[in-house]
Chain A
Amino acid sequence: MKRRRPRLSLPHVLLVAVLVFFYVPIGKVVVNAFNADASLNTWGGATLHWFRAALGSERVRDDFLTSAAIAGLSTVIAVVLSITAVMGAARLSQGSRRRLQTLTYARMMLPEVVIAVGLLLLIRKLGLNLGMWSVVAGHVIFCSAYATLVIQARFATLKGTYDEAAADLGATPWRAFTRVLLPMLLPAVAISSLLSFTFSFDDVVSTVFLAGSETETLPILILGMSRQGVSPDVNAIAVSFMAVTMLALALFALATWWRTRSAAQGTARKDPR
């Protein structure tokens, strides 16, 4: 498979440029987090004070866990709903498919605040209490829309293949799903999970309306703090938890790589990679 060597071309240059574009503001945030000048107007020397304050605060840690829990639950629910919906929709009539599609777009199109308030009014009408569940319910609305779109794009490119392969193998639908379809959907599932988790984790609009008094997430805390000016402590909190998230991901990636590697060594290697 080494026929097409990647050449240095316009896309590669753009890729590098875009990565720079993505990371320069992040760099700025990181630098701000170390700035000893609390007003951030000048460079006051480097300090770890803000990090110590951020990580030492129980409130910040609690909020991080709450955010992670909400994001995790929302992701799982959104992705599972999306996979089943995409698979089912492919076999429905064009009319019902279009109706489903419209609802997917509508969930992304409407300003989030409109959806959140609608849900709030409904919950109030039903006399239910707000809490973590209502935040998750709100997040799944838009997370599942994103997830559906991504998974659908992938599914669309392999719809026919999957049918034929499954038929060729004479497989039961369940086996066809787990053995053929799911592995092929995996990149889309991974990306939509990543997106859902990220969006839910950073959401403020729905959370403002749907969280009760017991539920405070990290972005809510950060937004509240930044109302009096974006000070280094806000930057430090943001950087700390980006680092935590990255570290967690890196560890799991490493663990998985380790597992696949040892598994690959156990069997005959058919692929060059």
Chain B
Amino acid sequence: MRRPSLRKLGSVAGVLAMTAVVAACGGGDGDGKAGSADSATVSFLNYPGWIGETEIADFQKANSGITVKETAIAEGGSAALASQLAQNKGTYDLVLAGNVTAKRLDQGKLLAKFDPASVPNLAKIPQEYRDAYPWGVPTNTGKVGIAYNKELVTDPPKSWKELFDRADEFKGKIVFPDYDRDVISIALLALGYDLNSTDAGQLAEAEKLILAIKPKLLAFASSDQDKPLLSGSAAIAVLYDYTYAGAGSDKIAWVSPTEGTPGYIEGVVPVAGGKHGDAAAKFLDFHLDPVNYAGFINTTGASFLMKEAESGIDEKILDNVALKPSDTSPFLAEQFLDPKTEEARNAMWQRIKAS
């Protein structure tokens, strides 16, 4: 009496499985085409969407025979990325990496030697960034500052120290990012120390400071830190510059704290064992062509590094207070420290989370 409905379910499941198998065979054919002699496929490990909207299509049009295949970085952790590269040696050509991750990858011998001469357009990037990011082409920076809801806050903190000192005023309405390095950096800055401190005593003080503010936080948010701010459930958020710019709302405002804005330099680096070095270099050069670079910045809304590209960049981005370099608040690059300190900082972060 119940058979028909059950049979229905069963066959549905069966057929589902069968379609999948058919799809699998189709997929298999697609995979087989890689690696023919006169064409190169540059494999690029990147955040989805972290590239100009038509950039890859344009590049392929301009360079017949070269295909750029993007694979998504899904987990932000640098260990996941490093292990992905370590396990798949020889299959990736390029990877998007912040300076901290890049150094880590380099020390793990996972990066190929980068030849600046192979990317002529690199000259358009200021020398200081090239020096700070020697592993490949630096493309943009990212930093954290203080953003606040204008309705809820009339007198925003002007420095990291003030943020920690006045936390009681905004109790339960503060959002921090869920990234250990940035949170530890701002605590160290608030205490008047170097953000790349390796001193155990200073780190212990920073830990105390973060532990003290933790009960007053709404959350450590891993993305969308701007949303609670916009809806008014948070008054203050430690935001990334591109998140602030992306929100594009006049309900919130940005403060570059006086101690400086900690952040990272991001870029694209060649991977050890990559088989298409020349094609990859061609793509990197294309990426840094001012027109394409402007497209990349317009899509991502990141802090840009190239003066020549300004004419192509949206005014909204050019004029954004968070993306513009600040005269009063220097950009402070976070560094990959020695493994011992890294381990200590990690343990400290877990203690903070667990408390």
- Chain A interface residues toward B at CB < 8 A: 1, 39-41, 59, 62, 65-66, 68-73, 75-76, 79, 117, 120, 123-124, 130-132, 183, 186-187, 189-191, 193-194, 197, 204, 207-209, 212-214, 216, 219-221, 223-230, 248-249, 252-253, 256-257, 260, 264, 271-273
Contacts and interface: CB of A to CB of B under 8 A. Distances in A.
A225 B1 contact: no
Interface stretch (B82-90, B151-159, B195-203, B340-348): B82-90
Contacts, number: 178
Contact of A69 (B6, B15, B24, B91): B24
Contacts of A253: 8, 12
Interface string B292-305: 00000000000000
Contacts of B49: 225, 228
B108 interface: no
A256 B83 CA distance: 46
9 closest A-B pairs by beta carbon, nearest first, are: A72-B20, A69-B24, A193-B13, A224-B72, A213-B91, A190-B9, A223-B74, A186-B10, A190-B10
B25 to A, nearest CB: 8
Interface in B105-127: none
Contacts of A132: 24, 27-28, 31
B76 interface: yes
Interface stretch (B185-193, B212-220, B246-254, B278-286): B246-254
A273 B71 contact: no
B224 A213 contact: no
A249 B84 contact: no
B47 A228 contact: yes
Contacts of A190: 6, 9-10, 12-13
A184 to B, nearest CB: 10
Q: What range describes how many residues of B lie at the interface? A: 35 or more
Contacts of A225: 47-49, 72
Given A68-B19, A69-B27, A256 B87 contact: no
A113 B47 CA distance: 21
A101 B71 CA distance: 38
Interface of B: 1-4, 6-21, 23-24, 26-28, 30-31, 34, 43, 45, 47-50, 70-76, 80, 83-84, 87-88, 91-92, 222-224, 226-227, 230-231, 242-243, 246-249
A72 B47 contact: no
Given A39-B249, A213-B71, A230-B224, A248 B47 contact: no
Contacts of B6: 186-187, 190
Contact of B75 (A65, A197, A223): A223
Contact of A197 (B13, B223, B247): B13
A225 to B, nearest CB: 5
B241 to A, nearest CB: 13
Contacts of B9: 186-187, 190-191, 194
B271 to A, nearest CB: 10
A256 B24 contact: no
B8 A69 contact: no
Contact of A224 (B2, B43, B73): B73
